[in-house]
Amino acid sequence: MADATSGMATAASDAFLSGQGIAVPLEAVEDELTRLWGPAAERADGPDLEHPAVTRISLANLVVGALGEDVGRVERALETVASRYPCRVIVLRGTADGGRSVSAEISAQCYLPAPGQPQVCSERIVLGAGPGALDLLPGAVRPLLESDLPMVLWWAGDPRPHLGVFHDLADEATRLIADLADPDAEPAAVAEALDPSRSGCGFGRDLAWFGVHRWRELVAQFFDVPEPRAALGRIASVEVRVAAPTASRPARVGCWIAAWLAGQVGWRGVTRAVEGGQLEATFEGPGEPIAVRVSTEAEAGLEVAQIRHVSLALRPNPSAPERGAETYGLARLVGTPEVRVEVCSEVRCSLARLIHAREFDVARRVAAALESRRSDPPYFAALPHLLWLIGA
Amino acid sequence: MSQTGGGAEGNPLRAFLPRTVAPEPCAVVLFGATGDLTHRKLAPALMRLAVEGQMPSEYAVVGFARRDWDDARFRDELRGTLQDAKIPDYEQTWPTFAEHVLFSPGTFDDPAAYATLKETLERADRTLGTRGNRLYYLAVAPDFFPTIVEHLGQAGLIYPHHQDAPWSRVVVEKPFGHDLASAHALNRELSRVLGEAQTYRIDHYLGKETVQNILALRFANAIFEPIWNRRHVDGVQITVAEEVGMPGGRGAYYDTAGAIRDMVQNHMMQLLCLVAMEPPVNLSADAVRNEKVKVLQALPRWDVEQVMKNVVKGQYGPGSIQGKEVPGYRQEKGVAADSKTDTYVAIRFTLETWRWAGVPFTLRTGKRLPKRATEIAIQFKKPPSLHFQPDDEGMGGANQLVLRIQPNEGASLAFQAKVPGSRRRLQEVRMEFRYGNAFASPPPEAYERLLLDVMLGDPTLFTRIDEVESAWKFITPILEAWEETGIEPAIYPAGTWGPAEADALLARDGMHWRRL
């Protein structure tokens, strides 16, 4: 009897550890997790390939709001996110259920850091609610948050259809990741999601911001030595080309590059014009006006908008006009993790070189968001410019 | 330490036996034998003591209630209760236990009922060997305490305390009074019949292993005492969070009490005492209680303005918990539609002692909070200069020692560690101790320990009258200020962590409430 019972417990634990969702009553989630982790931790075989021991890790509570969104995209991303940043994940999923109740399903996400090492596992709780029960979700989430750990809200999609739930959760989050479609999200949705005046959203980030980190690094490198740094004031134009799932609007990821420059250098937006995926804007800087262009082209098969090209053109140095204008260019070699860097001027014309700069997909962007510092002055300096560029 | 001085302590045959002190034979009389407390807590506790062999060699459990029952009927009633309690080895122990169960019918104000009780107890002395020792547990509303004790006295069922003579002890539940004046009055009434040594005012929190462990943690480990003071502690938060609302139609009683009387005046004051007290000279009952009283005497005495500034009164409104809608307090059965009763209280104060001057202590308790949890969090001061990039996750970044009273009983120490690979970035990590993982056997239930201590005559884990009165001296001005101002409670949705006003209370010190 004891063997049969322990065998059943091990089987349930196996299912749990393999990522198979186990439906449980909501009020029994914690007890069931405790029950399922027990046999997992008691495995006696030690850290070998066939029967690795299990280590449960949780660095944060990650609440994922996926009420109206493509849940599959979120689920795929979670696998990678959990391997880089193990946390207790609570996924909020909209269902077609009638009535006023919240369903719960639990599973573990495990990965093997290296052969011979214990599996690192964290738990996933999926809460489902029909259209008439969505307001019950925040009350269902709160008791499940692990104490002493930060709560990060990753909201996928437009928050406006579920504003009550969004605000309830965002107000309690230590940080918010707003994952809105790029470029399809309406500017008003972006403004609502990123409103810094709300307590949780005060530490909110547009997920698209984490798609420009490597590009920011590459652009910043151009101005690392003192002489070109002084040239920041001579930027005459910025052009960003983006490939995106659609070209309905200028891609935010491209706008973020321009907004970041504006925030760091001290530009002020003057005019903007949008036609489909094309944005033309003018900024006022310390010198003469700066022209900004963000071009978005539709490319089939893309999950997120990706920057393909960034170029900056500088006016001639007034103290050395004979040197002529300068251009700094970055171009993604499509289908590769390489970016070609070109700098051309009378004084410094370098051979094109390749830099390894992997594109960040949704999972890597979320992981970067989780690992980043909560305080991010460049983001907040850029945010007003972004909202202006997208017309929010 | 037994107050009787004799019995098992002087028995040389007890030497080196696992249990060196055994209770003397006695009769445990349960007033309110058909009530909720008896069925949920007292009967299961007595049964567990019997299963573990910790009941006296001869004992009786006598139920007293207003039912026309006999011994067999009461045994049947208890059997049903105890079966549901899922006590290990219950089936094997029940037959023997049942032989010790008796019943005495009657009402609290009927002298004839006490005459009947006396006959029942004398029968227990003859047939079950209880030798005249009596433990009267008043599991009834406090209004009945004086009546019951007076009748016990008149019936000769309470006798003066003498060494080596049968003893009689009375256990009363909290609340002891509903303000300072009523506590005084109640004590005067009881004192006409009982000596202080015979009066056991129960606070079941003191029976919890985790609460007792506070003393062990503080005074059995040398590393904590040097930093357990205002030079190193930035603040102390004590939280008692309840998920439940008004189960079993408890609204009518609760509406006369509120959170401040139900939780703060007793349980939370005891937790405060154990955290803030000075080391006792020894672990005798009076030595420990003397130090606790000093903490209570160091509490501030507020005027109305200070109460308004330092106390937040809240009440839960409709909301949802665990995915289920729940009504607001004013919609609960037995609660007035315009009730101003507090279901949530948050208090900020300082203790003007050498150890704690200037350190903010914050207490909060509430019903219909997101989850049930009781903990004490000691937040230490941050380093004087930070050479590393500080934690910026909004979690404070300071070292915290958290004593979890329930659930997940244990303790944890949070400290900063360098994130691997980063240059100087920190992340908060925790060292944890959990009872469930550290000890093979589960800790005893609180009432088991407390009932055993009453039988042993050990009052350490019971509150002395000066503790009760000192606590009321702090609480009563708050009640009076609320009465005088007619303050409306701040409404918070059920399933949230309380009203926003409570957040502002901590924000003054640059702090925030821990999320449990």
**Other residues' Cβ atoms within 10 Å of the Cβ of residue A234:** 21
Write down the pLDDT at residue B388: 66
Q: Which of B323, B515, B516 sits opposite A102 (nearest CB)?
A: B323
Q: Cβ of A151 and B515 within 8 Å?
A: yes
Q: Which of A136, A151, A174 sits opposite B323 (nearest CB)?
A: A136
Is the pLDDT assigned to residue A374 strictly greater than 60?
yes
Write down the pLDDT at residue B515: 84
Write down the pLDDT at residue A47: 46
Write down the pLDDT at residue A221: 85
What does R_g of chain A's alpha carbons equal in angstroms? 24
Tokens encoding B98: 């049942």
Q: Please state, in angstroms and rounded to a whole number, the distance separating the CA atoms of residues B479 and B483.
A: 6
Please check whether residue A133 is in contact with residue A161, taking contact to mean a CB–CB distance below 8 angstroms: no
Is the pLDDT assigned to residue A307 strictly greater than 50?
yes
Phi/psi for A384 (5° steps) reads -60, -35
Q: Cβ of A147 and B373 within 8 Å?
A: yes
Q: What is the DSSP letter of B334?
A: T
pLDDT confidence band for A124 (50 / 70 / 90) = very high
What DSSP line would sit under B455-498, residue for residue? Answer: HHT--TTEE-HHHHHHHHHHHHHHHHHHHHHTPPPEEEETTSS-
Q: Cβ of B392 and A59 within 8 Å?
A: no
Order of strands across the sheet with B26-31?
A: B101-105, B59-65, B26-31, B134-138, B168-172, B199-202, B462-463
Q: Cβ of A148 and B514 within 8 Å?
A: yes
Is the pLDDT assigned to residue B4 strictly greater than 50?
no
Write down the pLDDT at residue A201: 53
Is the pLDDT assigned to residue A291 strictly greater than 90?
yes
Q: Which of A139, A203, A375 sits opposite B320 (nearest CB)?
A: A139
Contact list in A for residue B371 (CB cut-off 8 A) is 142-143
Write down the pLDDT at residue B248: 76
Write down the pLDDT at residue A45: 47
pLDDT confidence band for B386 (50 / 70 / 90) = low
Give A47-64 pLDDT, tens digit per residue.
444 555 677 788 889 999
Does B92 or A267 have the greater pLDDT score? A267
Is the pLDDT assigned to residue B420 strictly greater than 60?
yes
Write down the pLDDT at residue A2: 47
Q: What separation, in Å, do the N-terminal and C-terminal C-alpha atoms of chain B show?
A: 37
Is the pLDDT assigned to residue A4 strictly greater than 70?
no
SS3 call for B360: coil
Q: What separation, in Å, do the N-terminal and C-terminal C-alpha atoms of chain A show?
A: 66
Over residues B448-465, mean pLDDT = 92
Of the listed ranges A317-331, B6-20, B61-75, B500-514, the one predicted with least confidence: B6-20
pLDDT confidence band for A3 (50 / 70 / 90) = low
What DSSP line would sit under A293-355, residue for residue? Answer: EEEEEE-TT-SS-EEEEEEEEEPPPTT-GGG--EEEEEEE-TTSSEEEEEEE-SS--PPPEEE
Q: Please state, in angstroms and rounded to a whole number, the distance separating the CA atoms of residues B501 and A384.
A: 31
Give B208-224 pLDDT, tens digit per residue.
888 888 999 999 999 99
Over residues B126-141, mean pLDDT = 93
Over residues B199-207, mean pLDDT = 90
Query: The whole model's pTM is what?
Result: 0.84
With tokens 């980043």, the residue in question is: A372
Write down the pLDDT at residue B32: 93
Is the pLDDT assigned to residue A16 strictly greater than 80?
no
pLDDT confidence band for B3 (50 / 70 / 90) = very low
Give A173-198 pLDDT, tens digit per residue.
988 999 999 999 999 999 999 987 76
Q: Please state, in angstroms and rounded to a whole number, the distance separating the CA atoms of residues B340 and B415.
A: 42
The per-residue pLDDT of chain A, averaged, comes to: 86
Write down the pLDDT at residue A44: 43
Q: Please state, in angstroms and rounded to a whole number, the distance separating the CA atoms of residues B506 and B173.
A: 33
Contact list in A for residue B392 (CB cut-off 8 A) is 373-375
Please check whether residue B133 is in contact with residue B168, taking contact to mean a CB–CB distance below 8 angstroms: yes
Looking at chain B from residue 466 to 495, which residues have their Cβ under 8 Å from any Cβ of chain A? 494-495
Over residues B323-351, mean pLDDT = 95
Q: Does A136 touch chain B (CB under 8 A)?
A: yes
Q: Cβ of A137 and B323 within 8 Å?
A: yes
Q: Please state, in angstroms and rounded to a whole number, the distance separating the CA atoms of residues B158 and B141.
A: 20
Q: Which residue of A has its CA nearest to B325?
A: A136
Q: Cβ of A139 and B412 within 8 Å?
A: no
Q: Please state, in angstroms and rounded to a whole number, the distance separating the CA atoms of residues B336 and B319.
A: 19
Give B493-502 pLDDT, tens digit per residue.
999 999 999 9
Q: Is the ipTM of this complex over 0.95?
A: no
Q: Does B321 touch chain A (CB under 8 A)?
A: yes
Core vs surface per residue A165-202: b (16+ CB within 10 A) or e = bbbbbbbbbbbbbbbbbbbbbbbebbebbbbeebbbbb
B40's CB contacts (< 8 A; 6+ apart) are none
Write down the pLDDT at residue A178: 94
Over residues B90-106, mean pLDDT = 91
Write down the pLDDT at residue A104: 96
**Other residues' Cβ atoms within 10 Å of the Cβ of residue B238:** 24
Q: Does A137 touch chain B (CB under 8 A)?
A: yes
Give A67-85 pLDDT, tens digit per residue.
976 778 888 899 888 888 8
Report which of B462, B388, B449 is spatially closest to residue B418, judged by C-alpha positions.
B388
Of the listed ranges A144-158, B28-42, B430-444, the one predicted with least confidence: B430-444
Describe the crossing of helices B285-297 and B465-485 by its angle, rounded to 10 degrees. Answer: 20
What DSSP line would sit under B48-110, residue for residue? Answer: HHHHTT-S-SSEEEEEEESS---HHHHHHHHHHHHHHTT-TTHHHHHHHHHHTEEEEE--TT-
Tokens encoding B154: 């008149």
**Other residues' Cβ atoms within 10 Å of the Cβ of residue B92:** 9
Is the pLDDT assigned to residue B468 strictly greater than 60?
yes
Report which of B347, B387, B388 is spatially closest to residue B364, judged by C-alpha positions.
B347
Give B227-278 pLDDT, tens digit per residue.
999 999 999 999 999 999 998 778 888 998 999 999 999 999 999 999 999 9
The per-residue pLDDT of chain B, averaged, comes to: 89
Looking at chain A from residue 68 to 127, which residues have their Cβ under 8 Å from any Cβ of chain B? 100-102, 104, 127
Over residues A135-156, mean pLDDT = 93
Q: Cβ of A148 and B392 within 8 Å?
A: no
Residues belonging to chain B: 516
A3's CB contacts (< 8 A; 6+ apart) are none
Catalytic residues of B: 267
Please check whether residue B71 is in contact with residue B128, taking contact to mean a CB–CB distance below 8 angstroms: no
Q: Please state, in angstroms and rounded to a whole number, the distance separating the CA atoms of residues B239 and B267.
A: 11
pLDDT confidence band for B97 (50 / 70 / 90) = very high
Is the pLDDT assigned to residue A42 strictly greater than 60?
no
Q: Which residue of A has its CA nearest to B319?
A: A139
Describe the crossing of helices B465-485 and B269-276 by its angle, rounded to 10 degrees. Answer: 120
Q: Please state, in angstroms and rounded to a whole number, the distance separating the CA atoms of residues A292 and B164.
A: 98
The H or E element containing residue A126 is strand A119-129
State the SS3 of A207-271. Answer: HHHHHCHHHHHHHHHCCCCHHHHHHHHHEEEEEEEEEECCCCCCCHHHHHHHHHHHHHHCCEEEE
Write down the pLDDT at residue B242: 96
Nearest Cα of chain B lies from the Cα of A8 at a distance, in angstroms, of 22
